Amino acid sequence: MSKLQRYDSYKDSGVEWLGVIPSEWEVKKIKYIFKENSIKNHGHEISLAATQLYGVVPKSSLNFRTVEANVSDLNTFKLVKVNNFVISLRSFEGGIEYSEYQGIISPAYTVIEAIQNISYKYMKYLFKSNIFIQALNIYKTGIREGQNISFLKLKDDFLPFPLLTEQQKIASFLDTKTEQLDKAIKQKEQLIELLKERKQIVINEAVTKRIDTTVAMKDSGVEWIGEIPEYWEVKKLKFIIKDKLKYGANESGIEYNKKLPRYVRITDFSDEGKLSEKNKLSLSWDKGKEYLLKDGDILFARSGATVGKTYQFKKSMSTEEFYSFAGYLIKAEANENIILSEFLYLYTNSDLFEKWKSFIFNKSTIENIGADKYSELFVTIPSIIEQKEILQSYNKETSKIDNAIDLQQKQIDKLKEYKTTLIDSVFTGKVRVCDE
C-alpha cells in the first residue's frame, strides 16, 4: 500500500503551468523525451482510432462506424507502434492518447515515440491529466481554433521528469487509486440508474392506475394502452387542448436582448427539461409575437435527434419575461377543464407515450412526428380531482427519488473532482507517494 506525504524540499520549475516541483526532480523538454514519427506505406496493418475514452484502439473494436479509406489511401496513413502516443485533433480537449496496439492511423494525427527510458504508464497518466490538458491549449493551431496541436511548438515545452523508479511508483499508485475511485463512481452511477427506473415505474403507474384500488378496470380500446380504470376516459390530444397544435417560428434568432422575447430552441433544453443559460438568442417582437409561450405550455420536438421529446415550459426556468419558440417545436396548450398541464406532461414521459412513438416510427421510414400525428395521440384521462390526487402522490414520492439522485450525483462530482486534483497534485509533486 502507498500513502501520500510532502517532499522534503521544492524548487521553481521555471515552467508556468508546473510551478514549484520537488528539488530532486528534473524538468525536460519534450523533444528530449519523445520524437515524432511519420512512418508510412504500412497499409496492411490494422486501422486504429484515437479516442478520448479508450485511448488508441482498433477501429473494429468500436461500436460506431468510421469511414474506411481505400487501399491506396491506407499507405498514406502513419504507423503506430506499441507504446507510442498519438496527438489527435481533439487532444486539446482530452489529452494525448496512448497505444497498446500496432497499426495505422490517419495522417492528420501526430505519432510520437519515446527516446528515453520512461514509465509508459506514468506518461499515459500525465498526458491525460487536467493540468497538462490546460497546458496543451497553448499549442492549438489550424484553420479553426483548437483543431490541431503543433508538435513543432509542443516539443520545446517541459515535462516533470522524476527518476524512473519514482515514475513507476507514481504510476502504480494511480493505477490502484483511480481503480478504487472509478469503482465507487460506477456504483453510484448504477444506483442513479436504479433510482431513475423506480421513478419511471412511478410515472407509468400514475397514468395507468387508479387511486382507489377497489375500482374495476376496463379495456381502453387502444391496444398499446391496455386496461384503465372503468371511469377513466381515453381521448385524442386534439380534443383535450385549447387550440390546434402550433408550429414555432421558422426564423433565425438574433443577438440576445433581454427586452425582446427569448428565442427558445430544442437545443436550449437540458435532459431535465430546464432551459440553458448558454448561447441565448432573441427574436424580434415583429417575428416573435405570434409564438409567445405561457406557463404550462407543452412543447413537442418534431424532428432531429430529439424527435418525440417533450418539454413543459415554465417562466421559472429562466429570468426572461417573454419567450417565443422555434420551428422544430410544436406547442400544445392543455384545456385544464379536461386535463391538467402537469398530468399531460407526465403522460408524455410515460412508457405509454414511448409505445406510441414506436408505433409511429414503425409505420414511417423517417423519424419525424408532425402536428398531424401528435394530434392523434391517445391520452388516458381521469377526472380533474383524481388528476390532482395522482399528481400530489407522484410529487411526494418522486421528490424523495430526485433528492436521492441529486445526492448521489453530488457525491460523484466530488469523487471526480478529487480524482482530478489528486492526479494533478501527484504530477506536480505537491504530494509524494510513499510506501507504508
pLDDT tens digit string along 91-118? 888 899 999 999 999 998 999 999 999 9
Task: Output the pLDDT for position 96.
Answer: 93
Task: Output the pLDDT for position 365.
Answer: 59
* Higher local confidence (pLDDT), 273 or 201: 201
**292-321 average pLDDT score:** 88
Task: Output the pLDDT for position 89.
Answer: 82
Q: For residues 238 and 337, state if they share a domain.
A: yes
Distance from C-alpha of 343 to C-alpha of 349, rounded to nearest angstrom: 10
Q: For residues 222 and 329, state if they share a domain.
A: yes
Q: For residues 230 and 346, state if they share a domain.
A: yes
Task: Output the pLDDT for position 57.
Answer: 94
Q: For residues 147 and 234, state if they share a domain.
A: no
Domain assignment of residue 279, yes or no:
yes
Task: Output the pLDDT for position 363.
Answer: 62
Q: For residues 96 and 227, state if they share a domain.
A: no
pLDDT tens digit string along 359-408? 887 665 567 899 999 999 999 999 999 999 999 999 999 999 999 999 99
Judge contact between 174 and 124, C-beta under 8 A: no
DSSP assigned state of 46:
P
- Taking alpha carbons only, the member of 436, 435, 420, 428 closest to residue 162 is 428
Task: Output the pLDDT for position 146.
Answer: 45
Of the pLDDT bands very low, low, confident and very high (cuts 50, 70, 90), residue 144 is very low
Helix, strand, or coil (residue 211): coil
Q: Which CATH number does the domain housing residue 103 bear? A: 3.90.220.20
Task: Output the pLDDT for position 72.
Answer: 58
Residue type, 237: L
Q: For residues 140 and 217, state if they share a domain.
A: no
**77-102 average pLDDT score:** 92
Judge contact between 88 and 136, C-beta under 8 A: no
pLDDT at 304 over 80: no
Judge contact between 199 and 346, C-beta under 8 A: no
Domain assignment of residue 413, yes or no:
no
pLDDT at 184 over 70: yes
Question: Which region among 118-122, 139-143, 176-180, 423-427 has the lowest average model confidence (pLDDT)?
Answer: 139-143
pTM of this prediction exceeds 0.85: no
Domain assignment of residue 333, yes or no:
yes
Q: For residues 103 and 240, state if they share a domain.
A: no
User: Cβ atoms within 10 A of the Cβ of 412, count?
Assistant: 18
Domain assignment of residue 34, yes or no:
yes
Residue 144 C-alpha from the chain's centroid: 23
pLDDT at 325 over 80: yes
Tally the domains of the chain. 2
pLDDT at 71 over 60: no
Residue 91 C-alpha from the chain's centroid: 18
Domain assignment of residue 261, yes or no:
yes
Distance from C-alpha of 22 to C-alpha of 73, rounded to nearest angstrom: 48
* Higher local confidence (pLDDT), 4 or 98: 98
Phi, psi of 111 (to 5 degrees): -105, 130
Domain assignment of residue 329, yes or no:
yes
Structural domain range at position 45? 26-161
pLDDT at 316 over 90: no
Please give the mean pLDDT across all residues of the chain.
Answer: 89
Task: Output the pLDDT for position 308.
Answer: 86
Phi, psi of 130 (to 5 degrees): -60, -40
Above pLDDT 70, what percent of the chain?
92
Q: For residues 232 and 375, state if they share a domain.
A: yes
Q: For residues 243 and 359, state if they share a domain.
A: yes
Distance from C-alpha of 82 to C-alpha of 215, rounded to nearest angstrom: 69
Domain assignment of residue 316, yes or no:
yes
Cell 509533486, residue?
A: 429
Cell 400514475, residue?
A: 206
CA R_g for the chain = 29
pLDDT at 122 over 60: yes
Domain assignment of residue 6, yes or no:
no
| 161, 186, 202 - which closes a domain | 161
Q: Which residues contact 407 (CB under 8 A, 6 or more apart)?
A: none
Q: For residues 262 and 377, state if they share a domain.
A: yes
Distance from C-alpha of 359 to C-alpha of 354, rounded to nearest angstrom: 9
Q: For residues 157 and 219, state if they share a domain.
A: no
pLDDT tens digit string along 213-240? 778 889 999 988 988 998 999 999 999 9
Task: Output the pLDDT for position 1.
Answer: 46
Q: For residues 131 and 267, state if they share a domain.
A: no
- Pairing state between β 262-264 and 323-325: parallel
Helices 120-127 and 164-206: angle between axes, nearest 10 degrees: 50
Distance from C-alpha of 154 to C-alpha of 135, rounded to nearest angstrom: 10
Judge contact between 365 and 409, C-beta under 8 A: no
pLDDT tens digit string along 47-65? 999 998 889 999 988 875 5
